[in-house]
Every structure is written in C-alpha cells, then in structure tokens.
Amino acid sequence: MAANASGWRNRIAAWWQRRQALAQPWTAQRYVALDLETSGLDARHDNIIAVAWVELTPPLLDYQSVRYYTVATAQTELNQSPVVHGLVSRDLQQVTPLAEVLHELQQVLDGAVLVCHHVQLDWAFLKQAGKAHQVRFKPLLRFDTLTFEGQRLKNSQHHIQRGSLTLSACRSRYGLPQYDAHHALSDAIACGELMLAQLYKYAGAQVVRLPRS
C-alpha cells in the first residue's frame, strides 16, 4: 500500500512539474534538436544507423553539447540509397553500441523539448529502439519544424509546392545558410537553427504554448 501511495505521489509531482514548465515562455525551455539516419522508413523493420543531437537554450545553440554517433555496422542492410542517408559501408566500421547511445540520449531528453524536422518519423524509430533496449524517453514536448512551417504556409494561404517543406527549403525562407544535407550532425544543427528562427520570428518572447506534434 505504501509503495502504491508513493507511486501516485511521484506521478502527481511529475504532472505538476510538467504543467509548471509548459506555463513558462518558450524561451525558458531547454531543447534538443535531433536527427536520425536510418536504413529505411519503417521503424518496425528498419534500423537506426546514425544519431546526432545538439542542445539549445534560447537564444543559444550549445555547440559543446553536440553528439554524433554511428550505431550500425557495415553488415547492416542499407535499404535506402546513400543519397538519402549520406552514409556508405566504410562510415559504419567504427560504431557505438545503440543501447549506450540511447541511455545517453534518455538523460539529455528528460524534461527537454525534442525538436526534429519530421518528428513523427524520428520519434517512431526512437520508441521502437527504446522498447528493444528498455529505454523510455520522456521529453517535455515534441516540436516539428516541418509541421510548424507547413501550418504557417497554410495559414497564410501560401501554395505548398513539392519540395517546399524540406529542411533546406524551410531554412532558405528565414535567410539561413545552406549546409551539406543528408548527414545527421549537420541536419540536427540545421534543424535547431531553424526552430530558433521560426519561434523568434513568430512568437518572440511571448508566453506561448508550443504546438504538439
């Protein structure tokens, strides 16, 4: 009985802390911009082959927090072309165990806002990998730079053309420089910069509720 009561108290405390955190201005949150490179697009059958992230505390992007890992081996079946994920077999010779990377990411994500460009895809792979390695991710919220930009264009009655919501295309509308695409590290940094540009332009320092993705 005492254990059950303690569990309920912990859950209530966690709920209250989350509620208080979400009541703060978006600039008061901590963010983790993440990018995954995968062997395909199906989280149930394909694998994560590279992981990268960077932490942000607006208005700053903390380059000292940058992490990049390859986690697959050269024997991993790459179901996508290297043009998509930017990796070839020689890039997969020296790898870090996926479980080790997931446990580090778990600590970084706890209480932070996860930021991705197409967060539904990355989150599906994270959940699948976490389930396999007994790792549970608990971000405060998930923010999708692609969904944000798509909704913004829709609200302004802007015609959304094919390719207009790629990371590169979204960055160009904010005057951000172009990086080499299809590399988890540069894409994670590019995503974090895009998020800052989007929110500073359209939310400023207001107390706004971050949209769920």
Residue 79 confidence (pLDDT) above 70: no
Neighbouring CB atoms inside 10 A of 69's CB total: 20
Q: Residue 43: pLDDT band by 50, 70, 90 thresholds?
A: very high
Residue 83 confidence (pLDDT) above 50: no
**Is residue 194 one of the residues assigned to a domain?**
yes
Total domain count, the chain:
1
**Is residue 15 one of the residues assigned to a domain?**
no
pTM listed for this prediction: 0.84
CATH number reported for the structural domain that contains residue 60 in this entry: 3.30.420.10
**Is residue 154 one of the residues assigned to a domain?**
yes
**Is residue 20 one of the residues assigned to a domain?**
no
**Is residue 140 one of the residues assigned to a domain?**
yes
**Is residue 144 one of the residues assigned to a domain?**
yes
Residue 121 confidence (pLDDT) above 80: yes
The overall average pLDDT reported for the chain is 84
Residue 117 tokens read as 């460009």
What are the b/e assignments for 77-87, b being 16+ CB within 10 Å?
ebebeeebbbb
Residue 7 confidence (pLDDT) above 90: no
Confidence at residue 133, expressed as pLDDT on a 0 to 100 scale: 96
Neighbouring CB atoms inside 10 A of 9's CB total: 10
**Is residue 66 one of the residues assigned to a domain?**
yes
Q: Residue 212: pLDDT band by 50, 70, 90 thresholds?
A: low
Q: Rounded mean pLDDT of 80-95?
A: 57
Residues spanned by the domain of 187? 25-202
Alpha-carbon span 40 to 194, nearest angstrom: 25
**Is residue 184 one of the residues assigned to a domain?**
yes
What are the b/e assignments for 175-205, b being 16+ CB within 10 Å?
ebeeeeebbbbbbbbbbbbbbbbbbeeeeee
Give the pairing type, strands 48-57 and 31-38.
Answer: antiparallel
